Amino acid sequence: MDSSQDISLFKLKSKQDFNLERFFNITPDILCIATYDGYLKKVNPAFSNLLGYSTEEMMQHPVTNFVHPEDRKKTLKFRKSLSEKDPILNFENRYLTKNGNVVWLSWTSISEPEDELIYAVAKDITHIKELEEKRNSLLIELTRLNTELKQFAYTTSHDLRSPIDNIISLFGLMNFPKIEDKQTLKYIEVFYTSVLNLKQTLNKHIETLNTEKKINIDLQKLNLNNTLNIVKESISESIKNSKAKLLVDFSEVPSITFSSFYLQSIFLNLLSNAIKYADIERKPIISITSKKVKGRTQIIFSDNGIGFDMDKVKGDIFKLHQTFHNHHDSKGIGLFLVKSHIESLGGTIEVESKVNIGTTFILTFKE
């Protein structure tokens, strides 16, 4: 039974074997009926208990009064579209409980134009959002540690090898024939040998660090269509609800050698962003293509979303916790991870964007 059937069952006023009033009162899911002007006509105990308000309190005020302030504008837009279009599935927004706690709800709603009523079912997904937040925090921490290890390798290379090379160069400038004391010459020879050994040991350590970095990232030949399909499946509801049109063409370069985990993460973040920042005035169109440019593979993500002002954001686009739109789910993590993933394996990422026109990301991979 799909969500629309659930709602249709909820709407039935059967006088037969179904005790729908009892179902309404005992189900752990949130059930409610609201008018087109936003007032609740009926709420079940699960809803009132979750928010901590009495049924009377909830019916005295517009439902948006209970919505998190940052989500009210979005909620009003979706309610308006619901009264005009098809049912809405898995619409997520935040509510504030009476004691000030934030709860996340995922709504499935359908309208009845004849009576100007909206029938809705919701699930409490607060725990899922908390797990997502923990996952993102772990990804950030892992990325930070990885960056620090790389920086350590670079610092070791430049800060230690350079002085050693200078010492070795000084030996080349010494006029050994003028040193008559044999013991001094012996000490110099021992010192020179020790410096050479130190340089060799240092080079081995640096080589080991670089090798370990490569070993930890499993590279394999990946079919781009297959990888994208895995990502599309994981966010199929978001794609469906957004009514986004995906234009995919990997015919020129059907596969690349890369980290499977990294590529899925890149596809997921760029595709999710294209949906998240779609322009509500038009249907999202997302183009994903591959091509060869000067012997290197490029993947281009383009959308017709709200875009952003490149002159204002400049070098901040890929920085951690940088957000450029007032979207409640923006953490400034996705693009940071995309850049970290592509650059960690020798690639680059470029971005082009115009306000109200759209955004294009160009990923260039190391061959």
Burial class (CB in 10 A: 0-12, 13-18, 19+), 45: middle
Whether 130 is covered by a domain: the verdict is no
The span from the CA of 347 to the CA of 263, in Å, is: 12
- CA–CA distance, 298 with 301 (Å, rounded to integer): 10
pTM of the predicted protein model: 0.49
Residues 160 and 90 in one domain: no
In a domain, 149, yes or no: yes
Q: Who contacts 254 (Cβ-Cβ below 8 Å, separation ≥6)?
A: 223, 224, 225, 290
Sign of torsion over alpha carbons 172, 176, 181, 186? positive
> Which of the four pLDDT bands, split at 50, 70 and 90, describes residue 95?
very high
| Residues shown for the chain | 367
Identity of the amino acid at 329: D
What tokens were used for 61? 């005020």
Domain stops at, among 96, 124, 152 = 124
Residue 343 and residue 225 share a domain: yes
- Give me the CATH number covering residue 30: 3.30.450.20
C-beta atoms surrounding 209 within 10 Å:
16
Same domain, 202 and 170: yes
Q: What is the pLDDT of residue 137?
A: 83
One DSSP character per residue, 247-306 reads EEE-SS--EEEEEHHHHHHHHHHHHHHHHHT--TTS--EEEEEEEEETTEEEEEEEE-S-
Q: For residue 59, what are the CA distances in angstroms to 35, 41, 173, 284, 302?
A: 11, 6, 91, 36, 44
Do 239 and 347 belong to one domain?
A: yes
Is 192 within a domain? yes
Coil, strand or helix at 54: coil
319: number of Cβ within 10 Å? 12
Q: Are residues 149 and 256 in the same domain?
A: no
Indicate whether 285 belongs to any domain: yes
Q: 226, 259, 229: which is closest to 341 by C-alpha?
A: 259
For residue 281, give its domain range: 219-364
Domain boundary among 170, 196, 216: 216
Quick one: pLDDT at residue 10? 54
- Last residue within a domain, chosen from 56, 91, 124: 124
What CATH number does the domain containing 239 carry? 3.30.565.10
Q: Which residue has the tokens 């049924």?
A: 55
- The CA angle 359-81-6, to the nearest 5 degrees, is 115
pLDDT, position 331: 43
Check: CB of residue 94 under 8 Å from CB of residue 71. yes
Q: Note whether 334 and 322 are within 8 A (CB).
A: no
Q: For residues 42 and 140, what is the distance between their CA atoms, to the nearest angstrom?
A: 43
Asked if 238 and 333 sit in the same domain, the reply is yes
Same domain, 91 and 189: no
Same domain, residue pair 188 and 107: no
Q: How many structural domains compose the chain?
A: 3
Query: Each residue of 308-364: pLDDT tens digit?
Result: 888 777 666 776 444 444 544 444 567 888 888 898 888 999 999 999 899 999 999
Instruction: Return the sign of the alpha-carbon dihedral for residues 234, 123, 282, 349.
Output: negative
- Same domain assignment for residues 196 and 65: no
pLDDT digits (tens, 9 = 90+) for 167-200: 777 777 777 777 778 888 888 887 888 788 777 7
Q: pLDDT tens across 270-319, in order? A: 998 899 888 888 899 999 999 999 999 999 999 999 888 887 776 667 76
Burial per residue of 79-103, b for 16 or more beta-carbon CB atoms within 10 angstroms, e otherwise: beebeeeeebbebbbbbbeeeeeeb
Are residues 38 and 116 located together in one domain of the fold?
A: yes
Output DSSP code: residue 28: S
The average pLDDT across 78-95 equals 81
Structural domain includes residue 197: yes
135 pLDDT more than 90: no
Q: Which tokens go with 228? A: 């994208």
The answer to whether residue 129 sits within a structural domain is no
Read off the pLDDT of residues 201-237 as tens digits, 9 standing for 90 and up. 667 666 655 555 554 567 899 999 999 999 888 888 7
* Whole-number average pLDDT of the chain: 82
228 and 248 Cβ atoms separated by less than 8 Å: yes
Together in a domain, 174 and 99: no
The answer to whether residues 200 and 71 belong to one domain is: no
| Cβ pair 11, 119 in contact under 8 A | yes
Dihedral pair phi/psi, residue 151, rounded to 5°: -65, -35
In a domain, 272, yes or no: yes
Instruction: Give the integer Cα–Cα distance in Å for 67 and 75.
Output: 8
